Amino acid sequence: MNDSPWATEPVPAGPAYDALVGPHTRPMPIVPDAAGRDFDDREARDRGAATDGGPPFRAETLPQEPMPSPPPPPSQAPQDATPPPKKRAGRDLRAAIGVGVGLGAVIFASLFIVKAVFVGVIVVAVVVGLWELTSRLQEKKGIKAPLVPLAVGGAAMVIAGYVRGAEGAWVAMALTALAVLVWRMTEPPEDYLKDVTAGVFAAFYVPFLATFVAMLLTADDGPERVVTFLLLTVVSDTGAYAVGWRFGKTKLAPRISPGKTREGLFGAVAFAMAAGALCMEFLIDGGAWWQGLLLGLAVAVSATLGDLGESMIKRDLGIKDMGTLLPGHGGIMDRLDSLLPTAPVVWLLLAAFVGTG
């Protein structure tokens, strides 16, 4: 028996087969042509039928794939190709600049007219910052840090730091923490530890660090010290933004703040050191330019760490901004992130360089 797949089975013939499958579907025998080559008689019959008026012949051919068209030369490239996106700032710069100028005017006016007015500005910023922080904690994490004792204790902390110095600030901090513990006792005990821990953290993070700004103000050249503190922090942030936007390639802390780069950090250090040298030489009594270099370096590092710390908190809460009070900036806490940890650094270095008087 022939097992080849190409073997031909015998073809039945006769009327019975025609009646079963039809005369036009019966397979035709293979016959040799004049040259001795085999060909299918059905193909010859179908050709004759197609030319002699018989049933039309349909050639079964494999579908052909369309030939790919060659790519156009560079000179014939599509004119409507989308250009690569340009770098853009993440905020409304006009609103940010307008709000920044307005805040700067309020700060400078209060600094050089009546010092006590500037202390009031610090108190307002602290209370609003505490409100933003505790509101976001409750909304996103269900943490109920008591706002009333925090606000009252925070205001007292700033005033005590201005009147009594560091000793008064520490005493007010301790009393504020105690008030948070007692105030939370008026509610059910569930989540007590979590709520009071967040409350003590908020008291330290916002009003206690802000107290060092008020303590800068107590010196004879207090307004100039505060201006130096604010100017160096702003210059550091500006240098980081400008250099990072133009040259930034290597991420500084991608898991915390993807927009920050190492190049931006170098820009912050360079700008802050230059500004520090100028401020210590021309604004601070008894200061020297080399002290300003060290001060600027410390401010750039502390401001960057403060910004990263605030970004870590916001990422944990799943939010972009702490608030919407300042158009183009976010909330008060979004502007205090670099200032709060920088205040004790500037106070300590200025006390070491030129004293606290």
Q: What would the pLDDT profile of 257-313 be if each residue is shown by its tens digit?
A: 988 999 999 999 999 999 999 999 999 999 999 999 999 999 999 999 999 999 999
Residue at which a domain ends, from 218, 249, 271:
218
Mode of pairing for the β-strands spanning 38-40 and 30-32: antiparallel
* pLDDT score of 6 more than 50: no
Instruction: Name the domain boundary from 197, 218, 239.
Output: 218
* The pair of three-digit structure tokens given for residue 115, joined into one six-digit string: 């010092």
175 & 259 share domain: no
Regarding whether 352 and 227 lie in a shared domain, the answer is yes
Q: Would you say residue 88 lies in a domain?
A: no
The tens digit of pLDDT for each residue in 172-196 reads: 999 999 999 999 999 999 999 999 9
Question: Does pLDDT of 101 surpass 90?
Answer: no
Residue at 201 is within a domain: yes
Residue 131: closest CA among 45, 25, 206, 77: 206
Do residues 136 and 242 share a domain? no
In a shared domain, residues 209 and 228: no
Q: Which residue has the tokens 């007219």?
A: 113
Confidence of residue 11 (pLDDT cuts 50, 70, 90): very low
Same-domain check for residues 193 and 224: no
Pair 132, 239 in one domain: no
Residues 250 and 212 placed together within one structural domain of the fold = no
* In a domain? residue 75: no
230 and 286 share a domain? yes
Q: Is 206 found in the same domain as 224? A: no
Does residue 42 fall inside a structural domain? Answer: no
- Report how far apart, in Å, the C-alpha atoms of 136 and of each of 131, 145, 315, 316 are: 9, 10, 12, 11
Q: Please tell me whether the overall predicted TM-score, pTM, comes out greater than 0.75 for this model.
A: no
Q: Same domain for 167 and 267?
A: no
Q: Is 85 domain-assigned?
A: no
- pLDDT confidence of residue 84: 52
Among 188, 218, 248, residue at a domain's last position = 218
Q: Is residue 292 part of a domain?
A: yes
Number of domains in the chain: 2
In-domain check, residue 82: no
Average pLDDT taken over every residue of the chain: 82
Domain that holds residue 281: 220-356
Same domain, 122 and 207: yes
Q: How far apart are CA 95 and CA 120, in angstroms?
A: 25
Same structural domain, 245 and 330: yes
